[in-house]
Amino acid sequence: MANQEPDVKITPRVTYKVATHEELEKPYRVIIQNDDVTPMDFVILVLQMIFGLDTNRAVAIMYEAHYNGRAHVVTLPFEEAQERIYDAHSLAREVDYPLTFYLEPDE
């Protein structure tokens, strides 16, 4: 007798969660990730233009990311942080730089 596999189709379950207004207002930390391609002056420009940092703060964050692999840029409500990251990524991709930012909950 041949061992036959039953014809069973398994569909993965996807759960969606709708964020509440309070969750969207919670602070998130914007983190910059170091890379070996994006020029330092471009990073400083993005930190100033997109995140509103003054020159001294932008330079300090750029060097912190350069030496430590990452750095905290600003803490903002989720939606604002997400929009600024999108703007920063868009600007970087226009000139083919892999500059990357990501979010962490501010605990």
Paired strand residues for 77: 27
Q: Say if residue 39's pLDDT is above 90.
A: yes
pTM of the model: 0.78
* Separation of alpha carbons 26 and 87, rounded Å: 20
CA pair distance 78, 75, nearest whole angstrom: 9
- Amino acid 12: pLDDT: 67
Hey, what CATH topology would domain 37-105 get? Ribosomal Protein L30; Chain: A, (3.30.1390)
* Share above pLDDT 70 across residues of the chain, in percent, rounded to a whole number: 80
2-14 pLDDT, tens digit each: 556 556 666 667 7
Q: How far is CA 65 from CA 10, 25, 44, 52, in A?
A: 44, 26, 11, 18
Tell me: pLDDT of 17 over 80. no
The residue ranges of every structural domain in the chain are: 37-105
pLDDT digit string, tens, across residues 53-107: 999 999 999 999 999 999 999 999 999 999 999 999 999 999 999 999 999 999 7
Dmax of the chain from CA atoms?
Answer: 77
- Give the CA radius of gyration of the chain: 20
Indicate if the pLDDT at residue 19 is higher than 80. no
